[in-house]
Amino acid sequence: MKLLLVEDDAALAAEIAKALRAENFALDHAVNGEDGQHLGETETYDAVVLDLGLPKRDGVSVLQAWRAAGRTVPVLILTARDGWSDKVAGFKAGADDYLVKPFRVEELVIRLRALVRRASAHGANRIVCGPLTYDAGLGTFERDGLPLKLTGLEWRVLSCLILRKDGVVPRGQLIERVYDGDAEVDSNSVEVIITRLRRKIAPARIEGVRGHGYQLVPGEAA
């Protein structure tokens, strides 16, 4: 899964980025409202963490522009403003959640996972696909009830597929959601990750749909 962080406080942004990458999220970072708005309009993200007090363009106007352009990505506002009027302005602009500084990064991670799960139309925290179970609250996978050990890139691919298990995920969308924006990506890198995953998740399968992308198929439980 891939997130966008729009935050101008360098120290706080570094702390958030470190925590999110430790939880296997891919991440792009913008330091002002103009760059953040551009990224939100041109790239694909599973969720956005948006500060309100930004240089060049404030967070509320950035969010309003996204919603006016039809961008439905879940947005969590992160700000030092704790007044009720500020919260109302954020939610009226189209925010999905609101977290006031100072905060615990663990809470931020939990809230973001919940936003991504709801945006994928899954009501329950635990998502099952054959022998696989994904706990969207904890961000963990099990196969046949046992913890499934995954690398960060494998986790990003598999979480993207299981959250969209009833449909086909385009290859380009997988690449967008797996790698940071400045990462150098080999042409067959996603296929290499999927090959490793196929061995780990069997009898569940990742099927290639020619000309479209990939789909996670339950297979038969062990």
What pLDDT, in 10s, does the model give residues 108-151? 999 999 898 888 766 567 889 999 999 988 889 999 999 999 99
Contact criterion met (CB below 8 Å) for 112 and 24: no
pTM to 2 decimal places:
0.78
Are residues 106 and 152 both part of a single domain? no
Examine the domain organization and report whether 90 and 196 are in the same domain: no
221 has pLDDT over 60: no
Q: What are phi and psi of 10, to 5 degrees?
A: -60, -45
Distance between CA atoms of 167 and 177, rounded to whole angstroms?
A: 16
Q: What is the CATH number of the domain that holds 153?
A: 1.10.10.10
Rounded CA-CA distance 81/27 in Å is: 24
Residue 205 belongs to what domain range? Answer: 126-217
Is residue 222 assigned to a domain? no
Amino acid 177: pLDDT: 81
Lowest mean pLDDT among 62-66, 97-101, 167-171, 178-182: 178-182
Number of domains in the chain: 2
Instruction: Find all residues with CB under 8 Å of 5, minimum gap 6, and list them.
Output: 13, 16, 17, 20, 27, 28, 29, 30, 48, 49
Residue 40 — pLDDT band, cuts 50, 70, 90? very high
Give yes or no: residues 71 and 130 share one domain.
no
